[in-house]
C-alpha cells in the first residue's frame, strides 16, 4: 500500500494506473476507521482494480467547532487497517492540499435535499460535503465511489451532486454495518463509554419497532409511536422523521416504496444518527 500526502503524488500514482487501463474505486472517509469502513473498502477491492481511500477530517462540514476538535483522529491505526484490507493508495492530505488558495467550488442546486433533517439542524453541513466530495472526485477521478447508507441523506445529496455536475462516477451505496446488538458503526462511537453503547441501542430498537408498526399504521402515526418508544431510553432526541427516499420530504398519510425513518440524537455529548427502510 502506498501512503500519499500530496495532490501531486496522488496524480502520479493514478496516472500510472490509468495508463495500464485499471479501474479506480474510491472510498472517502474522515478517518477513525472501523469495520464499517473496511466493509466499504472490501466492496471496492472486489469491484475495482485500484482502490483509493482518503482520510481527511473536513472542517467545512462542521457547524460546531467543538465537534470538529473532538472528532477522533487515529492515522497510524487507520493505515494499518487499510493495508490489512487491501487498499492500494491511502491518501492523507492536509487542508492546504485539499483547499488551495483560489480554489473555486462548484455551485450545486440540491433541490431541497440539503434543507431538511441534517441540513436543518446542521446549517451549512451539506455545502461542506459537496465542497469536499466534489474536490476529492476531481483529484481521484474514480469510476466508482462507495458510501455507507448510515449517512442516508449524505448519499442522496452526493447522488444529486453527481447528476447536477454530470460526473461519470457511479455512486455505490452500501448497507449500514452494525455491531451484533444493532448499533450502527460510527467513528463517533469511540467517544462512547461501554454503558453509553448499551444506552444507544434504543436507536436500533426504535427503528425495528417502527418497521413492525409500519404494517399497521400510517407514516405519521408510526413516527409518533416511535418517538414515544424512543423516550423510554435515556438519549436526547433531535429529530425522528419518516421520509420519501427520493425527495426526503416527510410522509404523513401514505407509504411509498423505500420509505425511510431517520433518527438523530445525543448520547451524552456525542451526536449519533441512524436510519432504516421501513417498507
Print pLDDT tens along the chain (279 aa). Answer: 999 999 999 999 999 999 999 999 999 999 999 999 999 999 999 999 999 999 999 999 998 888 889 899 999 999 999 999 999 999 999 999 999 999 999 999 999 999 999 999 999 999 999 999 999 999 999 999 999 999 999 999 999 999 999 999 999 999 999 999 999 999 999 999 999 999 999 999 999 999 999 999 999 999 999 999 999 999 999 999 999 999 999 999 999 999 999 999 999 999 999 999 998
Model confidence over 180-216: pLDDT tens digits?
A: 999 999 999 999 999 999 999 999 999 999 999 999 9
Neighbouring C-alpha atoms within 13 Å toward the C-beta of 236: 6
Q: Are residues 17 and 134 in the same domain?
A: yes
Check whether residue 11 and residue 142 sit in a common domain: yes
User: 2 Cβ partners below 8 Å, 6+ apart?
Assistant: 13, 88, 89, 90
Please tell me the total count of domains within the chain: 2
Per-residue pLDDT at 92: 98
Cα dihedral across residues 94, 105, 247, 118: positive or negative: positive
Do 254 and 205 share a structural domain?
yes
Tell me, yes or no, whether 205 and 137 share the same domain: no
Between CA 71 and CA 61 the distance in angstroms is 12
How would DSSP label each residue in 227-239? HHHHTTSSSEEEE
CA dihedral of residues 89, 102, 171, 47 (deg, nearest 10): -20
Rg of the chain (C-alpha set): 19
Q: How far apart are CA 129 and CA 102, in angstroms?
A: 19
Q: Write out the residue range of the structural domain in which residue 163 sits.
A: 2-174
Going by the annotation, the residues of the binding site are: 30-37, 61, 148-151, 154, 185-188
Catalytic residues: 37
| Residue 182, in any domain of the structure | no
The span from the CA of 215 to the CA of 279, in Å, is 8
pLDDT of residue 63: 84
Query: Where does a domain end: 109, 141, 174?
Result: 174
Q: What is the pLDDT of residue 64?
A: 85
Task: Specify whether the CB–CB gap between 98 and 128 falls below 8 A.
Answer: no
Q: Which residues are annotated as a binding site for ATP?
A: 30-37, 148-151, 185-188
| pLDDT value of position 65 | 85
* CA dihedral angle for residue 186, residue 189, residue 195, residue 197, rounded to 10 degrees: 0
Same domain for 152 and 211?
no
> Do 49 and 98 fall into the same domain?
yes
Amino acid at each position: 500500500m502506498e501512503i500519499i500526502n500530496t495532490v501531486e503524488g496522488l496524480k502520479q500514482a493514478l496516472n500510472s494506473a490509468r495508463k495500464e487501463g485499471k479501474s479506480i474505486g474510491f472510498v472517502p472517509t474522515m478517518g477513525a476507521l472501523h469495520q464499517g469502513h473496511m466493509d466499504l473498502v472490501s466492496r471496492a477491492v472486489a469491484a475495482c482494480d485500484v482502490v483509493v481511500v482518503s482520510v481527511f477530517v473536513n472542517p467545512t462540514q462542521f457547524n460546531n467547532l467543538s465537534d470538529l476538535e473532538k472528532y477522533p483522529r487515529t492515522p497510524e491505526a487507520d493505515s494499518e487497517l487499510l493495508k490489512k484490507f487491501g487498499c492500494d493508495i491511502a491518501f492523507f492530505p492536509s487542508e492546504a492540499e485539499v483547499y488551495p488558495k483560489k480554489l473555486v467550488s462548484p455551485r450545486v442546486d440540491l433541490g431541497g435535499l440539503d434543507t431538511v433533517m441534517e441540513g436543518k439542524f446542521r446549517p451549512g453541513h451539506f455545502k461542506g460535503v459537496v465542497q469536499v466530495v466534489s474536490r476529492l472526485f476531481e483529484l481521484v477521478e474514480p469510476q466508482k465511489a462507495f458510501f455507507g447508507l448510515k449517512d442516508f441523506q449524505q448519499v442522496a445529496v452526493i447522488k444529486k451532486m453527481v447528476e447536477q455536475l454530470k460526473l461519470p462516477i457511479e455512486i455505490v451505496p452500501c448497507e449500514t454495518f452494525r455491531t451484533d446488538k444493532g448499533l450502527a458503526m460510527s467513528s463517533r462511537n469511540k467517544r462512547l463509554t461501554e454503558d453509553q453503547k448499551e444506552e444507544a441501542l434504543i436507536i436500533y430498537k426504535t427503528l425495528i419497532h417502527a418497521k413492525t408498526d409500519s404494517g399497521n399504521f400510517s407514516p405519521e402515526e408510526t413516527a409518533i409511536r416511535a418517538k414515544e418508544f424512543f423516550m423510554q431510553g435515556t438519549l436526547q432526541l433531535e429529530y425522528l422523521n419518516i421520509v420519501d427516499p427520493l425527495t426526503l420530504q416527510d410522509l404523513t398519510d401514505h407509504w411509498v416504496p423505500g420509505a425511510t425513518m431517520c433518527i438523530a440524537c445525543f448520547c451524552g455529548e456525542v451526536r449519533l444518527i441512524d436510519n432504516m427502510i421501513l417498507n
